Amino acid sequence: MKKIWIINGPNLNFLGIREKGIYGNDTYESVCEYIKKQFKDEAVEIKIFQSNYEGKIIDILQSAYFEKIDGIVINPGAFTHYSYAIFDGIKSVQIPTVEVHLSDIHKREEFRKISVTSPACVAQIYGKGKGGYVKAIKLLLEK
């Protein structure tokens, strides 16, 4: 059975509350339920984390190494645009990682078009809403 961890960064716990025109009406909990439901009949164990703290995200990445996780889906939130520490964390664990963004970051503010974390990842998926997580997991299961 493959093990996939999903790591969500800052403010994603406020889905359904924040900027509904960009992120939609789904709550964080409903997005997590949706993801798990899509894979309930498959041989995959999915564990989902969320933190508003950069250091905690790095701790989770490092734990994935020791737990021998097969793949990581990460939505670093705003850390995407400036966290070289998360970039280093992704690179250091040597686990295939897919970066996901609910919105199309390339159609938003200029600073959002830059991802310092994606070069450490095997792929970047954006603008697919919660379906982006499903696409990312499927990609990792193929590896």
Query: What integer pLDDT is reported at residue 34 of this predicted model?
Result: 98
> 3-class DSSP state for residue 31?
helix
Long-range contacts of 123-131 (CB under 8 A, 24+ apart): 123/98, 123/99, 124/98, 124/99, 124/100, 125/98, 125/99, 125/100, 125/101, 126/100, 126/101, 126/102, 127/101, 127/102, 127/103, 128/102, 129/24, 129/26, 129/102, 130/26, 130/31, 130/34, 130/35, 130/102
* Separation between Cα atoms, residue 31 and residue 21, nearest integer Å: 16
Query: What integer pLDDT is reported at residue 106 of this predicted model?
Result: 83
pLDDT (tens digit per residue) in 16-60: 988 888 888 899 999 999 999 999 999 999 999 999 999 999 999
Beta bridge partners of 7: 49, 74
Q: Is the pLDDT of residue 7 over 90?
A: yes
Fold observed for domain 2-142? Rossmann fold (3.40.50)
Cβ neighbors of 22 (< 8 A, separation 6 or more) are 102, 103, 108
Residues with catalytic roles: 23, 101
pLDDT (tens digit per residue) in 84-140: 999 999 999 999 999 999 999 888 778 878 899 999 999 999 999 999 999 999 999
**Any idea where the domains of the chain sit in the sequence?**
2-142
* Separation between Cα atoms, residue 61 and residue 69, nearest integer Å: 10
